[in-house]
Amino acid sequence: MLVLGLESSCDETSAALLKDNEVIANTIYTQAVHSEYGGVVPEIASRTHIKKIDRLCLSVLEKNGYGPEDLDLIAVTDRPGLAGALLVGISFALGMHTTYKTPIIGVNHLEGHISSVLIENQDLSFPFLSLVVSGGHTAIYKVTDFGQYECIGTTIDDAAGEAFDKIGKMIGFPYPAGRAIEEEANKYAGNDCINFPVARLKTDGIDFSFSGLKTAVKYHLQENAENYLEENRPLLCYSFQQAVIKSFVSNMQRAVEETGINKITLVGGVACNSTIRKALSDKFGGNVFYPSPILCTDNAAMIAKAGLENYSRGERRFPSMSPTGSFKL
């Protein structure tokens, strides 16, 4: 079974090939142009997807000795995401579907992230808890099977990746800033830590909040002298990252206690962060699984994987663009 995955929900244009569950290509074009604006500009994202998607898609096929007529399935992200950006991937996939009569399936981007960990951990069995942490989402899902997801906690304001990006902007890093903050934090060799607050929410779910943390960092910078940042950037990044880790660890601890499930997966762009990976592994031992970094940030291999699994189970969701489409449970 040869599956083409297509991802264009935000600022990555990606095409991937999955052959019998093995990724044979996963090409990602990251639209660096947005860093000039400090965040993703939807109009520019759509235009850039249009410029890139055709060559990107044909080259993953050609480089692997295939043509469009060899595909058994096209899996395309159809929700959630930027409307214009989603439309580019969906329209391109529909064009191929119409021309070559290839079966097609719409994939929820979040289901893609959750599935990403199963590409390299094929023996990972259900149920498990999935901590999805990206630029647009921060949530914990109880995953009992493919297509069976229960959201048991979510952010009530910013996503974790968004917090990394906003703090990065405050301290002069280009968008997206997650990796730069991790690298800066790694330079800190001291033992002290600025005690930034970690929100404890009194909600029914196991929810997250990062906007208070963002404000605390802002006030901390305002309270200190101008040269403070220049001399303390590594400490600041380290302390911010520690606060995020504290929030992840305590919420996952609650999730484990409440569900009785102790297998944890960490997925999405923020899961690239080695310090966060290590903190979760230190806390929960060998029961934590994460994908390689290339499968953490937005990519089409995870979309192909989710599409293939759903298709194999008889699911036939024709793509229907839904920018705010929630994660159907």
Out of 136, 153, 291, 319, the only residue in the binding site for ligand KG4 (CB under 6 A) is 136
Say whether residue 165 binds ligand KG4 (CB under 6 A).
yes
3-state DSSP assignment of residue 55: helix
β-strand 104-108 against 73-79: which pairing, if any?
parallel
Torsion sign, CA atoms 252, 205, 179, 301? positive
Least separation in angstroms between residue 227's CB and ligand KG4 is 27
Nearest by Cα to 58 from 48, 66, 47: 66
Out of 46, 297, 300, 307, the only residue in the binding site for ligand KG4 (CB under 6 A) is 297
Please report the DSSP string for 121-187 in residue order.
-TTPPSPEEEEEESSS-EEEEEEEETTEEEEEEEBSS--HHHHHHHHHHHTTPPSS-HHHHHHHHHT
Say whether residue 169 binds ligand KG4 (CB under 6 A).
no
Say whether residue 134 binds Zn ion (CB under 5 A).
yes
Least separation in angstroms between residue 8's CB and ligand KG4 is 12
Say whether residue 115 binds ligand KG4 (CB under 6 A).
no
Out of 268, 291, 307, 319, the only residue in the binding site for ligand KG4 (CB under 6 A) is 268
Residues 298-327 that bind Zn ion (CB under 5 A): 298
Say whether residue 164 binds ligand KG4 (CB under 6 A).
yes
Least separation in angstroms between residue 138's CB and Zn ion is 11
Q: How far apart are CA 5 and CA 73, in angstroms?
A: 9
Say whether residue 132 binds ligand KG4 (CB under 6 A).
no
| 130 versus 297: smaller Cβ distance to ligand KG4 | 297
First to last CA, the chain: 27
Number of residues that bind Zn ion (CB under 5 A): 2
Out of 26, 27, 31, 134, the only residue in the binding site for ligand KG4 (CB under 6 A) is 134
Out of 19, 179, 254, 277, the only residue in the binding site for ligand KG4 (CB under 6 A) is 179
| 110 versus 143: smaller Cβ distance to ligand KG4 | 110
Please report the DSSP string for 213-228 in residue order.
HHHHHHHHHHHS-TTH
| 165 versus 298: smaller Cβ distance to Zn ion | 298
Phi-psi region of 7 (alpha: psi -120 to 50; beta: other; left: phi over 0): beta
Say whether residue 158 binds Zn ion (CB under 5 A).
no
Out of 176, 291, 307, 319, the only residue in the binding site for ligand KG4 (CB under 6 A) is 176
Nearest by Cα to 90 from 314, 323, 324: 323
Say whether residue 13 binds ligand KG4 (CB under 6 A).
no
Q: Taking the C-alpha atoms of 153, 154, 156 and 157 in order, what is their torsion angle to the nearest 10 degrees?
A: 160
Out of 273, 279, 305, 311, the only residue in the binding site for ligand KG4 (CB under 6 A) is 273
Out of 7, 184, 207, 298, the only residue in the binding site for ligand KG4 (CB under 6 A) is 298
The residues, ordered by sequence, that sit 6+ positions from 108 with a Cβ below 8 Å of its Cβ are 77, 78, 79, 80, 306, 325, 327, 328
Number of residues that bind ligand KG4 (CB under 6 A): 19
Binding segment for ligand KG4 among 18-26, 61-69, 230-238, 268-276 (CB under 6 A)?
A: 268-276
Say whether residue 77 binds Zn ion (CB under 5 A).
no
DSSP 8-state assignment for residue 208: B
Neighbours of 37 (CB within 10 A): 10
91 CB-contact burial (10 Å; exposed 0-12 / middle 13-18 / buried 19+): middle
Say whether residue 270 binds ligand KG4 (CB under 6 A).
yes
Q: At what angle do helices 178-186 and 160-170 cross, to 10 degrees?
A: 70
The residue ranges that bind ligand KG4 (CB under 6 A) are 10, 134-136, 161, 164-165, 176-179, 182, 268-270, 272-273, 297-298
The residue ranges that bind Zn ion (CB under 5 A) are 134, 298
